[in-house]
């Protein structure tokens, strides 16, 4: 049996994914980062793209992520994202979902706030 670690992918709205994994692949400004059990502690920023989690039971979950941070400490990996969504497809679909999440966030930030009614 492979060594495992805890993974939590959270956004301001919800915990997107939480469970025990054997491998995680995330994208940082420096490139892709693969994490397995007993990884050295680290912190890094996430860029818009796909995160792949291979769960303890062998299931693979692909998540589209827009921005955020990643922390690895004591066999606990936490991804704190601006926005994230699990996808049914592979990396390319997750990348497209992540880009749409980024575009949606930009649209929301640019929208003028409604003035309160008197």
pLDDT of residue 105: 67
Q: Which tokens is 118 given? A: 């008197």
pTM score: 0.80
Structure tokens at 38: 């007993």
pLDDT in tens, 49-86: 999 999 999 999 999 998 899 999 999 999 999 889 89
84: closest CA among 39, 6, 18?
Answer: 18
């Amino acid at each position: 049996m492979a060594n495992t670690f805890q993974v939590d992918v959270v956004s301001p709205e919800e915990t997107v994914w939480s469970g025990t994994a054997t491998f995680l692949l995330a994208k940082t400004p420096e490139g892709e980062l693969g994490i397995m059990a007993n990884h050295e502690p680290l912190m890094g920023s996430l860029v818009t793209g796909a995160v792949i989690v291979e769960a303890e039971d062998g299931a693979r979950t692909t998540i589209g992520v827009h921005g955020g941070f990643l922390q690895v400490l004591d066999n606990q990996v936490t991804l704190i994202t601006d926005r994230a969504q699990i996808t049914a497809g592979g990396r390319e679909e997750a990348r497209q979902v992540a880009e749409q999440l980024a575009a949606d966030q930009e649209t929301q930030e640019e929208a003028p706030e409604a003035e309160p009614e008197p």
